[in-house]
Amino acid sequence: MRGTDSRRLPAEYNKSATLPQTGGAAGVAAGLDARRLSEYLNSIMAVRDILIAPDPRLKTVSEPVDRVDDELRALMDDMLETMYAAPGIGLAAIQIGVPVRVIVMDLAHDGDAPEPRFFVNPEILDQSDTLTSYAEGCLSVPEFYEDVERPDTVRVRYLDYDGNPREEEARDLFAVCIQHEMDHLEGVLFVDHLSRLKRASILKKLQKSRRLATAG
Ligand code: QAP
Ligand code: CO
């Protein structure tokens, strides 16, 4: 089942999807009723814990991936599941504590069909001189949103879910999101683009809510 198109959907879509008719795990799934299929999917996909700033692991520079194999696809599946559960629109592997250069994203509007996207070893080939500002948030900086200025268009090269090289122009929200996520690969958070005062204030508040949450 892992690696088929049906896996690149949020769990809720998977669970209501038409059963695949052929092949390996798909054949196993085809023999299950809806409830057991749902249990099966839950057993092979996982929502992982998201690191919250100021966790020092978020400052790690992530390592390039040398092979897009089933193990990496399993990680990407878990990242997507974690992002959908949050819910969020973009997630880098280091946000679940795995320091590899992998990003998942879905910018589809609520109610539209999901559009999961996977970026392995992404590189910026070119960026516009024109900057644009967007009120960014981050699953690792919950409940804070601040304006960040970035190039409004970037050209990116990356490997997709199947390990095929791709190149495309990102603009609008896609441009904001890919640059935000690629910052994570360098250990950079959106708060690092703010003034020291604003950054310190946000991190202190996050640390305080962590203390309150773990105090029991
Ligand atoms: C990064 O962000 C991003 O504070 C992805 O309480 C942000 O998915 C790209 C989220 C802005 C482009 C523009 C944040 C969820 C999700 C929160 C996210 C929260 C719950 C953020
Ligand atoms: Co983020």
- What are the DSSP calls for the chain, one per residue? -TTSGGGGS-HHHHHHSPPP-SSHHHHHHHTS-HHHHHHHHHHH--PPPPP-TT-GGGGPPPBPPS---HHHHHHHHHHHHHHHHTT-SEEEGGGGT--BSEEEE--PPTTSPP--EEEEEEEEEEE-S-EEEEEE--TTSTT--EEEEEESEEEEEEE-TTS-EEEEEEEHHHHHHHHHHHHHHTT--GGGGS-HHHHHHHHHHHHHHHHHHH--
Neighbours of 26 (CB within 10 A): 15
Residue type, 167: E
Q: Where do the domains of the chain lie?
A: 1-45, 47-214
Output the pLDDT for position 33. Answer: 74
Q: Give the closest residue to 19 by CA, choosing from 3, 1, 2.
A: 1
Q: State the closest ligand 1 atom to the C-alpha of 143, by its place in the atom list counted from 1.
A: 4
pLDDT at position 177 over 60: yes
As a whole number, mean pLDDT of residues 5-16 equals 40
Q: What is the mean pLDDT of the chain?
A: 88
Q: pLDDT tens, 49-78?
A: 999 999 999 999 999 999 999 999 999 999
Q: State the closest ligand 1 atom to the C-alpha of 88, by its place in the atom list counted from 1.
A: 8
| Residues within 6 Å of ligand 1 by CB | 86, 88-90, 134, 136-139, 142-143, 173, 176-177, 180
Q: pLDDT tens, 150-164?
A: 999 999 999 999 999
CATH 3.10.50.40 for domain 47-214, yes or no, is no
pLDDT at position 123 over 60: yes
Q: pLDDT tens, 183-207?
A: 999 999 999 999 999 999 999 999 9
Going by alpha carbons, the residue nearest to atom 5 of ligand 1 is 90
Contacts 24+ apart (CB under 8 A), 36-40: 40/1
As a whole number, mean pLDDT of residues 7-28 equals 40
In the numeric block, which tokens belong to residue 198?
């604003």
Neighbours of 60 (CB within 10 A): 17
As a whole number of angstroms, the distance between CA 83 and CA 89 comes to: 7
19 alpha carbon – ligand 1 mean position (Å): 32
Model-level pTM greater than 0.75? yes
From the CA of 95, the nearest ligand is 2
Going by alpha carbons, the residue nearest to atom 17 of ligand 1 is 142
Output the pLDDT for position 36. Answer: 72
Output the pLDDT for position 140. Answer: 98
Going by alpha carbons, the residue nearest to atom 21 of ligand 1 is 138
Pairing of strands 165-171, 117-127: unpaired
Q: State the closest ligand 1 atom to the C-alpha of 89, by its place in the atom list counted from 1.
A: 8
Name the residues annotated as catalytic: 181
Going by alpha carbons, the residue nearest to atom 2 of ligand 1 is 138
Output the pLDDT for position 41. Answer: 64
pLDDT at position 25 over 80: no
Q: Confidence band (pLDDT; 50, 70, 90) for 40? A: low
pLDDT at position 23 over 90: no
